[in-house]
Structure 1
């Protein structure tokens, strides 16, 4: 059992929720701090190789099973490791070479909206006109953040946001593809294997890009950034995530994505003296509004405004 699961009150859940939002929100800034000292794919690969090894060791001690069994569990590890860890983080780190972490966090907050759209397309879950409007609002929010200039569509900022958006879509696709799979492997074991597989993919991409370990600059900011991403926003944050996922469900977990830009912007301002402009804030509000429309029934249920037994009009379970 996860050691954090002994904290049972709603107040403790809220504290864990805020802690997780802080850990994951600051990760965007930590990536920004570390990237000048690491090649991007090696940076992400080292982070997830270390975090995966630690979580798998934790699973070996606490979980009732360590190895995946059967086609569905192997497929789940492959999808999570390939899409959610490997490709998503590769594109995220490449994108953050061009845009600040605060802006990256706003683009990534579109992930729950894209997840709903992929679920409608792949799993035949219905998406009504409000859900479609929510998707369009989310896309509009990202466009506002990107602020594309028709005369310079290949600018570094546009390229960075485009890479992060593709990574976000890859993450959402992976989340949807794992839904139909029948898996009983403990989530700690699943996550550990997925992280190690994703790290292997990132190392292969680093080799393909010609990235060399010799080019890493082991400065103090580099070491602090890597340690923070591995231990705090990696291992500790995922243990908190496992606890909250079991206790409050996926809708509340999705809401963490909308606190992360607030945390990332605040820390980016305090540490790096970066100020988020009004246009980015408008884009973020549009993305959040899109999420609220897509998940409106689940949010109403969680807020006690509708009967939990009433089925969602667009086929989404709150969990």
Structure 2
């Protein structure tokens, strides 16, 4: 991965890491499925009025909406509302990197190199240390919901790579438009008609998750997936819990132990090793 693309991937991880603190704030004011539905409604409108067609068959838009829009965020937000704390959620969700690699290898026949296996092993070793230090403090059902969200995201990554949309931002606008109706209907069915009194804090949370995290974040994510193998891009999301726990410490006062710092170092080292080519390969590529 080129240095500027690597910096873009790391910056995206920072945006998504802080997103967990923002979502936790938003869930104080909205039921989870309604929160997700409003999020995607805001991401789709009025942008939908100014963008053209997605440039890919509608089935791919529906596939990404079902997996990432409804599946990932539906499971994720319900899990957080059921008791998963922001820091632990940011950790569990990053098992999507493992799901992405597994789906990419089995469905797209991508090659899994020894370097990627070793890098992922080191990074997941860091995640294991974070889990050991943080502890599974939430209910088992909430933990399972977040794991299901990770699997849905991993499958969505593969669907999006297969779709290869020419314009990631336009594609994400349409994905948001396809995601909002089922989420709002599910909210009405499962959560009922809410009695809302959302504050400025709640609406600012929605602005961040709709425009910065969803449109901006997934626009960048799709752009990277179009240029690199899914199994190359996905490991960078392992940096998300590093930024997630750091932002939680700054915003909510959660302590960061030496074990967490060691885990963060392992995650960064593993991600960089898995996502970059050896010098000999780079030299050979430049000599062509």
Q: Tell me by how many angstroms 1:172 deviates.
A: 0.7
1:158 maps to which of 136, 140, 145? 140
1:259 maps to which of 224, 239, 260? 239
Structure 2 residue 278 is the aligned partner of structure 1 residue 306:
no
Paired residue secondary structure (2:254): coil
How many residues are aligned here? Answer: 281
Paired residue secondary structure (1:33): helix
Matching residue of 2:35: 43
Paired residue secondary structure (1:300): coil
Kindly indicate which of the two structures has a greater share of residues assigned to helix.
Answer: 2
1:93 maps to which of 51, 57, 77? 77
Q: Tell me by how many angstroms 1:100 deviates.
A: 2.1
Q: 1:143 to 1:23 in 2, by over 3 A?
A: closer
How do 1:59-138 and structure 2 match up within 5 A?
59-60=51-52, 66-67=53-54, 73-97=57-81, 98-125=83-110, 127=112
Is there any run of 5+ residues in structure 2 with no aligned partner, and where? none
2:210 maps to which of 226, 230, 241? 230
Q: Tell me by how many angstroms 1:121 deviates.
A: 2.8
Q: 1:185 to 1:135 in 2, by over 3 A?
A: closer
C-alpha contact 1:137 1:289 (8 A) present in aligned 2: yes
Provide the rounded CA distance (Å) in 2 between the counterparts of 1:48 and 1:189.
14
Provide the rounded CA distance (Å) in 1 between the counterparts of 2:142 and 2:258.
20
C-alpha contact 1:136 1:290 (8 A) present in aligned 2: yes
Is there any run of 5+ residues in structure 1 with no aligned partner, and where? 1-8, 61-65, 148-152, 311-319
Tell me the C-alpha RMSD between the 2 structures: 3.7
Q: Tell me by how many angstroms 1:43 deviates.
A: 0.5
Matching residue of 1:169: 151
Provide the rounded CA distance (Å) in 2 between the counterparts of 1:281 and 1:132.
23
* 1:45-70 Cα deviation digits (max 9, x unpaired): 1001111225434534xxxxx1556x
Q: 1:57 to 1:266 in 2, by over 3 A?
A: farther
Paired residue secondary structure (1:257): helix
TM-score (norm 2): 0.77
